Every structure is written in C-alpha cells, then in structure tokens.
Amino acid sequence: MSSTTGTLRVAVIDRDGAFLKVLGNRLDAAGWQHRILGGLVPVEELVAMKINAIVLDMSVLPPEEAWPFLERVCGMLPGLGVIVCTNESTVAQRVRGLRLGADDWVGKPCHPEEVMARIEAVVRRRRRQSGGREERGPLVVGELEIRADQYQAFVSGRSGDLTRREFELLQALADAQGSVIERGEIYRRVWGYEMAHGDRSVDVFIRKLRIKLEQLSPSWSYIHTHFGIGYRFDPEPVDPSAEAAPSAAAVDAGEDAEATTVERELEPTDA
C-alpha cells in the first residue's frame, strides 16, 4: 500500500481481537505509528499522543458515554481526523455521529485496507483545510473575529463556542464572502464528499450557526438565505429602527423548519 500522507500516528479504540491483529499488521507494514486502546480515555490523553486520526468502535463504549465521548473528541480536537468503525448501525446513528463531527463512518465487517484508505483521505482533507493556518491571520468581519488557528469566532474576546463542524461551515462561507454558495458545494467543502439526496445537514448546521452568531453578535446579520439555492455570508448591521426581524431560530421558516423536522426524525432513541 502506497501512502500519500507519509507516516501517520493513529489511535484505535476497539476490542475486536481478530480485526485489530490484521489492522495492526497493515499499520506496521505501512510504517504508521499506532496505539490500541480498549475503551474510554481522557481527551487530554489523546492530545498528548499527538495523533493524526482516531478510529473508534462505538460499540465498545458504555452506551451512556459513547455519544458524549464522540462529541468531546470532535469538539476539543478540531484538527483530529475521526473515523467511526463499528458494527451494524442505523441511519439515525450514522447521521448523528457525522453531525457531532465525525469525518467518516465505516460499518463492520470491513477490510483493514479500506479503513486505512479512509484514514488517509480524512488526514489529506484535514491538511488541505489547515494549510497555511499558522500564517493565516484572523478574519475580522462585522463584529466577528474569525480565528482559523483556534477553530473559533470571537466578539471582543468572547468565544462563540462553535463546534468544529460549525466553525468549518462558518469558514467556508466567510471565505466566499459576498457570493452565494449552493448547498451541494457547501457540503463538499465542509463534509468533503457529495451530498446525498434529501440530506438536510447543511440547513440544520446553518440554523445552529445562526443562533450562535445571533447570541454572540445580535446587532449584526451574517448569513443570508437564497431560497432553493444556498447561502451567502455578507455581514450587515441590523437597523434598530426597522421592523423587528425574526430570530435566527425562526429564519427561513420554510426550509429551516423542514430541516428541524428531519433532524428530530433522525434523532436516535438508542445509542
């Protein structure tokens, strides 16, 4: 197997002995450094490992801890590639995992070569997204200071508490400031692959991002909807003398309400 990403450092949280043996042999042959972990570890420990990616089998974690752990990892390690590799799962579970910030979801049984190829793809995508991040200064628009080096937006030093995915969405929109970006293109830029028919993830995340931006900077409007097409990032001050505008939660009643309904339908009742 030829790698286009060089030597990688990978952590694997799994207890499937047969799978781990074959995967470990392939990782060794590729010259990748790897750690096999049997269960939950503090996120701070993952930080100390300085890994490029983590492969996580959700089924080995306690049900009440699996989703919170995935959310913590994705939220606290924005540069980390996260691949969920687990047993049979529902559509709702896969959607939930991807929305929490996982980069990919692979169902078992699967071939270790495929897992490694997906790790490489995720790491390549992360490196493209972070290219030049250290040299890239903050982008100041309206009241927002968008800091790519911190995966966060600030107003007067106050953080918007954006998740990794929310920040990536904000960055993609801000990079095309003033231009309308179609939903499918937003999905490709943020999620890294083609959007499935009927997927409303973009609308759901836009709604969440709008709410946070409205709370952080209520005197400015940042994201504008072009119905049936996509979205445009174009900061505009809110005119206090104008008729009260709907809150972010109520913006785009037709499209965002539908996205909210879809999100609720997909929310799993099991872990």
Last residue of a domain, one of 76, 98, 130: 130
pLDDT in tens, 3-51: 555 678 999 999 889 999 999 999 999 999 999 998 888 888 888 888 9
Spatial strand order in the sheet of 220-226: 180-182, 230-237, 220-226
Give domain status of residue 1, yes or no.
no
Element (H, E) at 196: none
Q: Are residues 88 and 190 in the same domain?
A: no
Q: Are residues 240 and 171 in the same domain?
A: yes
More confident residue, 157 or 193: 157
* Residue 62 near residue 15, CB atoms below 8 Å: no
Q: Are residues 222 and 170 in the same domain?
A: yes
Q: CATH no. for residue 18?
A: 3.40.50.2300
pLDDT in tens, 87-144: 888 888 998 898 888 999 999 888 999 999 999 988 888 777 665 455 556 888 899 9
Residue 195: both structure tokens together: 């959007």
Last residue of a domain, one of 93, 110, 130: 130
Beta strand pairing call for 152-155 and 144-147:
antiparallel
Q: Are residues 123 and 198 in the same domain?
A: no
Per the structure, how many domains does the chain have?
2
For 230, the 3-state DSSP assignment is strand
Q: Which of 161, 71, 175 is nearest to 131 (CA)?
A: 175
Tell me the pTM: 0.60
d(CA 228, CA 236): 22
Give domain status of residue 271, yes or no.
no
Residues spanned by the domain of 204: 139-266
Residue 173: pLDDT band (50, 70, 90) is very high
Residue 177: both structure tokens together: 């400031």
